[in-house]
Chain A
Amino acid sequence: MTSLVFIAFQNTDNARLYIDAIVADNPHAEIQHQPAMIRVQAKDRLDLHRETVEERIGRVWDVQEMLLDVITLGGSFEEEEDRLSLRWN
C-alpha cells in the first residue's frame, strides 16, 4: 500500500498561488476542492519550493508565511530555508 501525504489550505488568494506552485513542483499531486478549502494529496511526497512560490507571488516570500493559510497536513514535515516538504519515509 502506498502512503499518501496531504496538505490543506484555506481557499484564499495566497493559497491559490501555493497550489499553483505545488502543482508545478509535484506533477503527481491530486487537488481536491471542498467548501472554503483546497486539499492536495500525493503519493509519498510533496514539496513546496520558495523559488516557485516567489515566481508567482512576485515578491520575497518566507516559507513560514505558509502558516497563515495552511489548515492541516499529513506526513512527516520538514522546513528548510528554501523548501517545505512532507513525506513518509
Chain B
Amino acid sequence: MSTKKLNQKEKYRCMTRDLDWEPSYQTKEGIYPFERFEGIRITDWDKWEDPFRLTMDAYWKYQAEKEKKLYAIFDAFAQNDSQTKISDARYVNALKIFLCAVTPVEYQAYQGFARVGRHFGGVGARLACQIQAIDELRHVQTQIHAMSHYNKHFNGLHDFAHMHDRVWFLSVPKSFFDDARSAGPFEFLTAISFSFEYVLTNLLFVPFMSGAAHNGDMATVTFGFSSQSDEARHMTLGLEVVKFLLEQHEDNVPIIQRWIDKWFWRGYRLLTVVGTMMDYMLPNKVMSWAEAWEMYFEQAGGALFKDLERYGIRPPKYVEQTTVGKQHISHQAWSIFYQHSQATNFHTWIPSDTELDWMSAKYPDSFDRIYRPRYQYWRDQQVKGERFYNQNLPMLCQVCQLSLSFTEPDDDTRLSHRSLIHQGERFHFCSDGCHDIFRHEPEKYLQARLPVHEILKGNCGGSNVEEVVRDYYHITSSEESFEYLGSPEHRRWQQWKNDEPKPDGDLPKVI
C-alpha cells in the first residue's frame, strides 16, 4: 500500500480538530463555565475556520527560523556599535516609550490568550489562542533583548516593568489591557484579536517600524517586523473570530457591535501615543500620523466595515471624530509630554525648523493655525531660560486615562470635556466615546486607578512630584527627564559625533 502524503487541509484536521475529545464524566458547561455569561450564543464550534492551517510542527519550524534571523541581526547591530549610527539620539526616546508601554502589554496579551484559550469549547479556537499566547511571549522576549543593547548606552530603559505599573502616562496602555483581560473571553477576543490586532496594530508595527529602519535602527525594525509577521496571522484570526461569532447567532450581532464601538474608541485613544512617536520622535520621516491613519484605518478599515455590513455591523460609533482628530492628536499629546517632562523617563524638545516645516506641510488645516504658534512661544520661553514645565498635575479621563487635552470634534479651539454623576460622585471624560463606555459599565470604570488621584491621595511614595518620580517611579530625573537639549544624553551623543554640528543645525542653542 502506498503511503500518501496528507494535503494541508487533512494534515490540519488530523493535527488539530482530531485531538479533541468528548468529555464523558463532566458536562461541557462544567468544563467551560465562562462560555455563556456574556450572552454570546455558539451553536456549532465546528464552523470555526482557521484561515492559516498552521499545525504545531509547522509553527515551531517557522518560528525557529524567524528567531534565528532576528538574533543574527541583534548580534550584528551590537557588534557594529550601531547605536552610534542611528539618525539622532532623540530617536531613542521613542524606544523608551515602546519598552515601557508596549512590551509589557505584549506580556498582558500573552496572559490574556493563555487564559481565554482555556475557556473555549471549540478546539480550533483553543489552538489558535495557544499559538497566539506563545507568539506574544516571543514578542516580549525579543523586544527586551533588542532594547537591552540600548539600555547599555541610553537612559530611561532600566526598569520598564516597574515603571509600567506606576508611571502616570503608562497607565494608558496598562489600563487598556487590564480592561480587556478582566472582560469575558468573547469580549477579550473581539477587543484584542479584532479591534486591536485587525483594525489598529498596523499603525504601530508597520509605519513606525518602517520609520525605525529609516532612522538606522535595524534592531527595532527587525523585531517589529518579526512580531508583525505573527500579527499577520493574528489579524486574520481576528477577522475570522468576528465573522464566526456573527454567523453563529443573530443575538450576537448587537453584543459584538457594542464591543466594536467600545474597543475601537479605546484603541484609537491608546494609539495617540503612537501618533506622537511617529510625528515627533522619528527624525527621518516616512509618513505622518494622519497619512498612516488614512492608509491603515480609513482605507483598510473602510473595506473591512463594508464587508461586515452584510452581518448587520456598521462602522464603529464616533468614527467620524477620528477623521477630525487625525489632524490634532499627535500634536496634542506631544504638548502633554512636553509640559510634563519632569515626570517622564524620556526627554522632550521643540522640533527643529525643518521638522516644523514638515508638519506644516503634512497638517495644513491645523498645524500653522494652532500648534506652530504654541511651539514658537515655548521655544521663545526656552531661549530666555524659562523652559516651560507645567507644575500642576493633569486631570485624567476616567476611561482612557489620558490627560484631558483633546479638543472638541467641531471646535478645535475648545477643550473636550464630558462628565456625569454616578452614585453621587462626578466622573470626568475626554470624549463622547469614553463617556459612553463608562455609562455602560460604571461598576467597572469607577474602580479605575488614576495615577494623578493616587499621587494626591499619598499612595505614590511621596508628597511632591520630585519624590514620586525618584522614589516611586525609579526615574533619576537629572539623567532621564526634562528637556533633551543639554541633557546628559544629548551631550553624550555630541561626544560620539565629535561635536559635529547636525546638518540641520537649527535646534535652538539652549542649555
Contacts and interface: CB of A to CB of B under 8 A. Distances in A.
Interface string A31-74: 00011110000000000000000000000000111011111111
B53 to A, nearest CB: 6
Given A67-B52, A72-B206, A79-B53, A34 B300 contact: no
Contacts of B66: 68
B42 interface: no
B210 A35 contact: yes
Given A8-B206, A78-B51, 13 more contacts: A3-B302, A6-B300, A34-B286, A35-B214, A36-B221, A67-B52, A67-B54, A68-B65, A68-B66, A72-B205, A72-B206, A74-B304, A76-B239
Given A71-B225, A72-B206, A79 B213 contact: no
Nearest to B287: A34
A63 B62 CA distance: 12
Given A72-B205, A76-B307, A36 B302 contact: no
B58 interface: yes
Contacts of A5: 303
A28 B225 CA distance: 26
B303 A74 contact: yes
B307 A89 contact: yes
A75 B52 CA distance: 14
Contact of A71 (B51, B228, B304, B310): B228
Interface residues of B, number: 41
Q: Considering residues B62, B211, B232, which has the most beta carbons from chain A within 10 angstroms of its beta carbon?
A: B232
A3 B225 CA distance: 25
B289 to A, nearest CB: 15
Chain B interface secondary structure, helix, strand, loop or mixed? helix
Contacts of A72: 202, 205-206, 228, 231-232, 235
B157 interface: no
Contact of B229 (A4, A70, A79, A80): A70
Interface residues of A, number: 31
B7 interface: yes
Contacts of B58: 64
A47 to B, nearest CB: 15
A73 B239 CA distance: 12
B494 interface: no
B209 A36 contact: yes
A15 to B, nearest CB: 11
Interface string B215-238: 000000100010011011101100
Contacts of A71: 205-206, 225, 228-229, 232
B293 to A, nearest CB: 14
A86 B446 CA distance: 43
Given A3-B303, A81-B8, A70 B54 contact: no
Contacts of B221: 35-36
A8 B65 CA distance: 19
Contacts of A81: 7-9
A10 B330 CA distance: 27
23 contacts: A3-B307, A4-B299, A10-B229, A35-B210, A35-B214, A35-B221, A37-B210, A63-B8, A64-B52, A64-B54, A68-B66, A68-B69, A70-B229, A72-B205, A72-B206, A74-B304, A75-B303, A76-B307, A77-B51, A79-B51, A80-B8, A81-B8, A89-B307
A68 B231 CA distance: 12
B210 A36 contact: yes
A52 B300 CA distance: 27
B453 interface: no
Contacts of B287: 34
B325 to A, nearest CB: 22
Nearest to B211: A35
A81 B10 CA distance: 11
Interface in B114-138: none
A78 B7 CA distance: 15
Contacts of A76: 51, 239, 307
B449 interface: no
Nearest to A65: B62
Nearest to B215: A35
B229 A69 contact: yes
Contacts of A34: 207, 210, 286-287
Interface string B181-206: 00000000000000000000010011
Contact of A67 (B210, B211, B232, B303): B232
